[in-house]
A and B are shown apart, each in its own frame.
Chain A
Amino acid sequence: MGGKEEMKPYRRPVPNTWWLERRSYFLFIVRELASVFVAAYSVFLLLVIYKLGQGPEAYEGMIELLRSPALIVFHLVVLAFAVYHSITWFNLTPKILVLFVGEVRVPPLLIAGAHYFAWLVLSALVAWVILRA
């Protein structure tokens, strides 16, 4: 019988397309990729604020630019990814936050539900601030 040094274990290569091999892997990669769009939008928002600081004219120009079809498409794409990112993470929160009240575990649905509720309240608040004008 051979010793350890005589063995030659075979290492299977991991293909670059591993994330296409299972649905769950693909959904995971989309969730990770979504953060790039969320980050891109944050940069864009900073740009808008920067323009606002440059005075009314620069800001008006920015607002005009925002009406262009390309930027509307950009916003829709970012919105879709941001919603996907938020939903997938909110659904995972019960795994991360395991709380006990006394000896009873807070039901997972309640943990996720609280996040959705907070999301709803904050969205309503933002909508109210913008739309009341």
Chain B
Amino acid sequence: MEKTMKLEIFRYRPDQEDQPRFQTYEVPFREDWVVLDAINYIKDEIDGTLSYRWSCRMGVCGSCGMMVNGIPKLTCATFLKDYYPDKIRVEPLTGFPVQRDLVIVMDDFIHKLREIKPWIIRREGEEKPIEGGEYLQTPAELEQYKQYSMCINCMLCYAACPVYALDNTFVGPAAIALAQRYNMDSRDQGRDQRQEIIASHEGIWECTFVGECSVVCPKAVDPAGAIQRSKVSSTIDWYKEVLIPWGGKKR
């Protein structure tokens, strides 16, 4: 007999019901299947009404993040065999409103991502003309921020963060890690602009260092580390401003 596995899936269809519920599906068990394969099987063979996001199937696009047995995971990298023969519970990422079934509303994250200006900013008058060529960087300078640049915006870190779940005003792990990525880039001069958001109450100081964001990150970005390092440099800024008369000047 073919081995099978049960998936308990969060369903919410706002056009039909006010409250979400769980629906159980039985799918074939295959050694090489990931949770996303099982969900695709459900969509194709059992219930076409199931809604969820996915794209690349190889841990690059960051679309298929879901809660698997309560832990935020990229479902394309979460194997059924690690759970077999137990039932797997699949839910939309926590901390976000649910649009439908496993689809979350990500507007808040996208808004925060834009707010921290994740691009290279040059001071006025210091931007090179195109003919001037690229801004050069040594491997050591690249090493300073490379880890933070690996973020794929999958939002698993937000789903792992109890601070964000309790208070959505928190700028959150990925956005702060990305701010840090540009702040530490030798070609960038935009730190002062980003500090308005990063050093605000809703920024780094909201973080209580639970550390779970770094645990669930599929790209080893270590947002928790980025936030704490940002706290250290913001604190140094503050001391400079208070103790040194000329220290508060913008660089």
Residues of chain A whose beta carbon lies under 8 Å from any beta carbon of chain B: 7-12, 14, 18-19, 21-22, 24-25, 28, 32, 92, 95-98, 103
B91 nearest CB across to chain A (Å): 9
8 contacts between A and B (CB under 8 A): A7-B99, A9-B105, A10-B14, A10-B97, A14-B165, A22-B70, A32-B208, A92-B211
* B104-135 vs A, Cβ < 8 Å mask (1 yes, 0 no): 01000000000000000000000000000000
Residues of chain B whose beta carbon lies under 8 Å from any beta carbon of chain A: 12, 14, 19-20, 70-71, 94, 97-99, 105, 140, 143, 162, 165-166, 208-212, 214-215, 222, 224-225, 228-229, 231-232
**How long is the Cα–Cα vector from A19 to B163 in the complex, in angstroms?**
11
**How long is the Cα–Cα vector from A11 to B58 in the complex, in angstroms?**
29
A25 adjacent to B228 (CB under 8 Å):
no
A14 nearest CB across to chain B (Å): 5
| A12, A25, A96 interface centre (most CB from chain B within 10 Å) | A12
**How long is the Cα–Cα vector from A96 to B14 in the complex, in angstroms?**
44
- Neighbour of B20 across the interface among A10, A24, A28, CB < 8 A: A10
Chain B residue contacts of A22, Cβ below 8 A:
70-71, 212
Chain B residue contacts of A11, Cβ below 8 A:
97-98
- Neighbour of A9 across the interface among B97, B162, B209, CB < 8 A: B97
Chain B residue contacts of A92, Cβ below 8 A:
209, 211, 228
Chain B residue contacts of A103, Cβ below 8 A:
140, 143
Chain B residue contacts of A25, Cβ below 8 A:
162, 210, 212
B237 nearest CB across to chain A (Å): 16
A28 adjacent to B211 (CB under 8 Å):
yes
A32 nearest CB across to chain B (Å): 7
B212 adjacent to A95 (CB under 8 Å):
no
**How long is the Cα–Cα vector from A18 to B222 in the complex, in angstroms?**
23
B165 adjacent to A10 (CB under 8 Å):
no
Chain A residue contacts of B165, Cβ below 8 A:
14, 18
B215 adjacent to A96 (CB under 8 Å):
no
Chain B residue contacts of A98, Cβ below 8 A:
225, 229
B62 nearest CB across to chain A (Å): 20
Chain B residue contacts of A9, Cβ below 8 A:
14, 97-99, 105
- Identity of the chain A residue whose Cβ is nearest the Cβ of B138 in the assembled complex: A103
Extra A-B contacts (18), CB below 8 Å, given A9-B98, A10-B14, A95-B229 = A7-B14, A7-B105, A8-B14, A10-B97, A12-B94, A18-B162, A19-B162, A22-B212, A24-B211, A24-B212, A28-B208, A92-B228, A95-B211, A95-B224, A95-B225, A96-B228, A96-B229, A97-B232
